[in-house]
Chains A and B, each alone.
Chain A
């Protein structure tokens, strides 16, 4: 006698305890295994690109914070570079180093949230709270710098809004000295835990061809074995002068492309960011923190696409200017959008618990998907 099992449609709705934002998935499952998964996006669509057409370039800077609020500095930086390149605005060296400093610090804290929520989705709550505890120190640094803990609105065309406060670099060095052993402790707590590794091994394996086909970027792409990082391969700001490694998924942890690799790439990226930050502290030049830019900023007509490496991958700004003080069109390309698109292809055959782990490993956050 064959068992008749129905396929049920389950709604993993916009409200759910996994903290990836308002995303919705419609699952077809028999209770154990998923047969199909249809993502539904748009719950956090705020029309940022349309707003960009209505307001001036200056006025849009705080909105870029909200593209990816966990990595706000990187979004600010991408937008600033996009506008500056088209307008031909130069940035003083001190400002360049400050920008890289804040971008890398933001990368560390963004990845802390990413791995923390990843561990929480797999069942271990403590790594998340420990990650948040480290994040508090960095938030204190940011608050001292620009007054905000999450959405900074710090980077301006021609430089940064405020210069570094007295003793900031010492305190940043103190944070790094505090953070490195904590990261090792974090690894001992969860990253090398056998149960955690078994949950992640082999789940959601993405081959390099599949990754390129779905236009994955950032740590997701590198975990599949493709060695591509915009900071090294298309350097912007002062990345060309700084030394760092780009972590890529390697066969020593098993075949690349599964959740385990995506997790480890993020951990190693945090370690590399610490290295970059120490170099920035050493090499911080003196000088002005911002070049003067005209009050009314009109960009010459033209269009271009500028991409930078945000924590969630390539953040691209395609800017079309018709010679006014506001863009004709600003298209924002984010890494989470492509990551979202691959979930539907990877889910058949996974168990429901694996799907949670997969979504967490791709580091999808809703504001990037919907803008």
Chain B
């Protein structure tokens, strides 16, 4: 963001005319808008994904009525929540009641500032990025306690306190797991951590040492507990009998809680991808491009005509699968248009997504070598901006799919069992990983 402000002020006369500070303010407002937009979009889309994943896990389809394949469902839910009556309990502390959801929103939305979508697509690459992420994660605790207190409901208060205790406890193993990565990378900056993982899939921190593998598992489990999801959602599911912290909220106030919870899923998946799964590094094609760039003999070999042939061969099965899936989609649409029952091909919405994915992979594989030679600017644009963005997004979606999937597979832990797991198992494991990684790095230095 700072470079953007400086560059704009230097290059564009309009901003010179306005002055430096107004430029900075405008850029900050634009970035804030971007962050909130992304927060809202992720929050909404994840409610849709959750319901679809829930449906397919439960042997049924998720929402498929509201838009094509149910995609408009989250907008319909949002509109419904906005139109609901805003009820504030009579004896509630009104100011805190109103303010509490926004603290949760803050906690989540602020994390988007350091999430990198590409080598330079990041709002601000703080050199304490990872520490900042942990800190903003802790903001939600205040919001929870405030919500529980302000509801004027004994049970909300208890539920809120229990939730807060859970989040505060699980921050420790989460931080320890991330410290393992920081130890390896030597920097807390998010882009720094990602750059340390360049050079192929095997360079990801996940595969660097057994301690980082354990740290990934530790991070994954603690982060699910951080965002209050099953198997750690007793504070909210206790609203079956007693009240959770958000029971007195209705309408869009509840919507903000909801969106914050779901965006949080995206944030923790993104952090898992940054720290352990290589960030925005493109898994296969990037390696070959890197090899070519470094002037390796193998690289130069692979970057020439043999590479083209190799990649085309790899692109063939992908194209075939893409063709099958997209043909099924087209036939399905034709049957629907003619109000015919579709007895020709088996089709579901997931097949469409897979088809598009295969088509994308096939086209990247097939075209990347000629593109590099013939259209170097476009190639550079694609590989420097578009592909890392898509890869990062795809990886975090994959991790969050696992988070969503876990909710519907596994039962809940009881409160005391949950605290036991944290303090007696995860924290010692965290220390073990941290110290072990120190020894490992020293051994292999």
Judge whether A199 is part of the interface by a CB distance below 8 angstroms. yes
B231 touches which one: A31, A123, A353, A356 (CB < 8 A)?
A123
State whether B411 touches A196 (Cβ < 8 A): yes
**Across the interface, do A123 and B408 meet the contact criterion of CB distance under 8 Å?**
no
How many chain B residues touch A (CB < 8 A): the figure is 27
Instruction: List A contacts of B54 (CB < 8 A).
Output: 125
A351 interfacial by beta-carbon distance below 8 Å: yes
| A160 → B minimal CB distance (Å) | 32
- Minimum CB distance partner of B60 in chain A: A129
Residues of A within 8 A of B155 (CB): 10, 31
Asked whether any CB of chain B lies closer than 8 Å to the CB of A181, the reply is no
Contact B231 A195 (CB under 8 A): yes
Question: CB-CB < 8 A to B59: which residues of A?
Answer: 129-130, 133
- A354: nearest chain-B partner, CB-CB: B414
Residues of B near A119 (CB, < 8 A) are 411
> With contacts A129-B58, A352-B238 known, is A31 near B412, CB below 8 A?
no
Most buried by A among B57, B411, B417: B411
Q: Are A198 and B57 in contact (CB under 8 A)?
A: no
Chain B residue, CB-CB nearest to A357: B414
Cα(A8)–Cα(B153), bound, Å: 12
Question: Secondary structure at chain B's binding surface: helix, strand, loop or mixed?
Answer: loop
**Any A CB within 8 A of the CB of B222:** no
Q: Which of B216-250 contact A (CB under 8 A)?
A: 230-231, 233-234, 237-238, 240-242
Are B241 and A356 in touch, CB under 8 angstroms?
A: yes
> Distance in Å from the Cβ of A23 to the closest Cβ of chain B?
13
Nearest B residue to A18 via CB reads B240
- Considering the chains assembled together, what is the distance between the CA atoms of A9 and B316 in angstroms? 68
- Residue on B with the closest CB to A6? B154
Q: Nearest chain B CB to A349's CB is how many angstroms away?
A: 13
Q: Which residues of A contact B154 (CB under 8 A)?
A: 8, 31
Contacts of B415 in A (CB 8 A): 32, 351, 353
Contacts of A31 in B (CB 8 A): 154-155, 158, 242
Residues in B339-365 with C-beta less than 8 Å from chain A: none
- Knowing A353-B415, A354-B414, say if A126 contacts B241 (CB, 8 Å): no
Q: Does A192 contact B (CB under 8 A)?
A: no
B196 to chain A, nearest CB (A): 35
Contact indicator B234/A195 (Cβ below 8 Å): no
Any chain A CB within 8 A of the CB of B413? yes
Q: Is the CB of A353 within 8 A of B414?
A: yes
- Distance in angstroms between the alpha carbons of A190 and B408 in the assembled complex: 11
Instruction: Out of B58, B240, B414, name the residue touching A199 (CB < 8 Å).
Output: B414
Smallest CB-CB separation from A133: which chain B residue?
B59
Other than the given A123-B410, A195-B411, 19 more pairs (CB < 8 A) read: A10-B155, A123-B233, A124-B412, A125-B58, A126-B57, A126-B408, A129-B58, A129-B60, A189-B409, A196-B411, A199-B411, A199-B412, A199-B414, A199-B417, A351-B415, A351-B416, A353-B234, A353-B414, A354-B414
Q: 5 A-B residue contacts at CB 8 Å? A: A32-B415, A123-B237, A124-B411, A125-B54, A353-B238
